[in-house]
Amino acid sequence: MTPNLRGALWMILAMLGFGIEDAFYKAAVATGGISPGVATIQFGLTAMALYALFARQQGVPVWSPDYLRKPLLIRTGFEIMGRLFFALALAFTPLSTTSAILQAAPLVVMLGAALVLGETIGPRRWIAMAVGFTGVLLIIRPTPEAFRADAVLAILGMIGFACRDLATRTAPPHVHAAQLGVLGFAVVTFAGVLITVFEPHNILPSPAAAALICGTAIAGVIGYTAITWAMRTGEVSVVAPFRYARLLVALVLAYTIFDERPDALTLAGAALIVTSGAWSLWRDGRAGARARKPL
């Protein structure tokens, strides 16, 4: 199995985890049994505790001095931005729309890979990414309505997450994935505190909402671990397009849980997204096979 294929599989697992995380979080907040800020705090603390147990099980310390070094401080800043704005978007925007806007992240990641990490990106990969982005446009159909406050929240969250993924690539390789998880969900908790400051009313969790947030944390830990390994495996420009799998998960969950009905354009856009990611991986596999062929 090539590094790019392993990275793609990790990314697909991450998107499945994140899709379930989004649905659980939105369901908890939608019941009115918990406010977004308090939900984010519970989510962050629960997932941070799970990662701390994972770190101990792996024999690595929970605290690392690398947390205070420049690469991880940059990553932390973007993590705060992504978590803060995306949590607000999930609370106030339809799941399918929020997830669709998030799918523009691979474009940001690809641009960063070329401009910051120095990866060479051929025209075919750019075309594949453009096809996938066309699918996103079919779903969100930019109109004046798309630039309401809630859409801006999702866009800001998307930019934060994309830059976080790029910063993960530059993080010290000796920092364990469990340590990155502890740091990441400490940031989630901090973002929740910031949200509560501006909430008119902080609602403590009902039993049902608390259970949903615990499910959010478990799914989030799975997704966070998988995306950390994905961004450390293979080429970013090959792995990044498989973030689009999150949209398909979101469409299914939005349909089954929140009774959101995607129309024909939405389904066509999803088809373009899947095709672009699958074609990118297929081309990479053929190129790798040619490179390994003996002379």
Domain count, the chain: 1
- Burial (CB count within 10 angstroms: exposed 0-12, middle 13-18, buried 19+), residue 149: exposed
The rounded radius of gyration (Å) of the Cα atoms in the chain is 19
In angstroms, rounded to a whole number, what is the distance separating the alpha carbons of residues 89 and 21?
Answer: 14
In angstroms, rounded to a whole number, what is the distance separating the alpha carbons of residues 23 and 25?
Answer: 6
pLDDT digits (tens, 9 = 90+) for 77-104: 998 898 888 888 888 878 877 887 777 7
Residue 279: DSSP 8-state: H
Q: Determine the structural domain holding residue 142 and report its residue range.
A: 3-292
pTM over 0.85, yes/no: no
Cα angle 66-68-72, degrees, rounded to a multiple of 5: 70
What's the pLDDT band for 295 if we cut at 50, 70, 90?
very low
In angstroms, rounded to a whole number, what is the distance separating the alpha carbons of residues 166 and 77?
Answer: 12
Cα angle 271-276-278, degrees, rounded to a multiple of 5: 95
pLDDT digits (tens, 9 = 90+) for 272-293: 877 776 776 666 656 555 554 5
Cβ atoms < 10 Å from Cβ of 124: 13
Cβ atoms < 10 Å from Cβ of 30: 16
**Per-residue DSSP letters for 241-267?**
GGGGHHHHHHHHHHHHTS-----HHHH
